[in-house]
Structure formats: structure tokens, C-alpha cells
Amino acid sequence: MQRVGVVGLGDMGSGLAKNLIKNGFQTTGFDLSEARMAAFSSMGGTSASSVAEVGRESDAVYVMVMTGDQAKSVILGDDGLAGNLRQGGVVILTATIKPSEARDIGEALAGSRIHLIDSPARRETRRTPGCRSDECASPQGPRRYRAPPTA
């Protein structure tokens, strides 16, 4: 897997995208802010015109948005990732949303053959044991929801 997408190119999403690009991943991104899209392009990313385009151009997509409603829209909306990511593709939900919202998204993807990894990121004000930076995944670790295969 070399084709990765990032939806949400704010402070944390742009840092994530920068590291992906730096490590040789073909990275496609989308954000509602034109300034963030321009900054993403200048670091070597490929700008998409929509979430749907990110899905079509990626094998895995990081979703780094601010709210559960935004995450649901990006993943499950009419032009969202669920309808545009290839079968077997992976959505990595790095938005820090309520566990119930992540479960709802995972359940909605059941039967779609799209995999969801819920790995909320947050900025820590104190160091979490074992972390090498101030941005770490949830102390509970990532929660993974695999859609069951369909016949």
C-alpha cells in the first residue's frame, strides 16, 4: 500500500500528511480551507477537489476532522469514503470523537468490505509513558472494526 489519503489538513492532519510524504507515500489530501490545501500542495501532496476523490485515489485514508458529525459525513456521506474507497480499503479514524460515534460508523460500514481503524489522536499536555512525542493515540490503544465479508 503506497497510496494514502488525508481528510482534514489542520494542525494535526497537516503534520500527519507531511510525515507520510516525507516517507515516500503518494499522499492525496482534502480540506475545506484553501490556505490549508495550498500548504499541503507546497509540501508535495496531491490536492483533491473532494472527499470522494481522496477515496478513489487512496488505499487507506486518515480522517482527522474535529467532530463526530464531520467524521460521519466524511466517511458515510453521499460523496464520502464508503462509496468511493475500493473494497478492502482502510479508513483510519484519527479524529478524537466519542467511542459511540466511532462504533456507529463501524456498524454502518458492516458488509461494505471497508475496514475501519479507530485510533483517536490528541495533543497531550503531559507525556504518556512510551510516547516519543506530545501527539499520541488514545491510552486505550486503537480500536479496530473489521467489516464482515459479504457473500
Write out the three cell numbers for 56: 478513489
- DSSP annotation of 69 reads H
151 falls within a domain: no
Going across the sheet that includes 60-63, the strands are 46-47, 26-30, 3-7, 60-63, 90-93, 115-118, 143-145
Q: According to the model, what pLDDT value does residue 150 have?
A: 40
Q: What is the CATH number of the domain that holds 65?
A: 3.40.50.720
pTM of this structure: 0.81
Q: What is the pLDDT along the chain (151 residues), one digit of tens a residue?
A: 589 999 999 999 999 999 999 999 999 999 999 999 999 999 999 999 999 999 999 999 999 999 999 999 999 999 999 999 999 999 999 998 999 999 999 999 998 889 999 998 864 444 445 444 333 343 344 444 444 444 3
150 falls within a domain: no
Report the number of distinct structural domains present in the chain: 1
For residue 122, the one-letter residue type is R
Element (DSSP H or E) covering residue 135: strand 135-137
Render pLDDT for 109-126 as a digit per residue (tens, 0 to 9).
998 889 999 998 864 444
Q: According to the model, what pLDDT value does residue 54 have?
A: 98
Q: According to the model, what pLDDT value does residue 52 have?
A: 98
Domain of residue 139: give its range. Answer: 3-145
Helix or strand or coil: residue 27?
strand
Question: For residues 74 and 51, is the Cβ–Cβ distance under 8 A?
Answer: yes
65 falls within a domain: yes
Tell me how far the alpha carbon of residue 84 is from its chain's centroid: 14
97 falls within a domain: yes
**Rounded CA separation 45/23 (Å):** 12
**Rounded CA separation 28/85 (Å):** 13
Q: According to the model, what pLDDT value does residue 1 have?
A: 54
Element (DSSP H or E) covering residue 4: strand 3-7
Residue located via cell numbers 464482515? 148
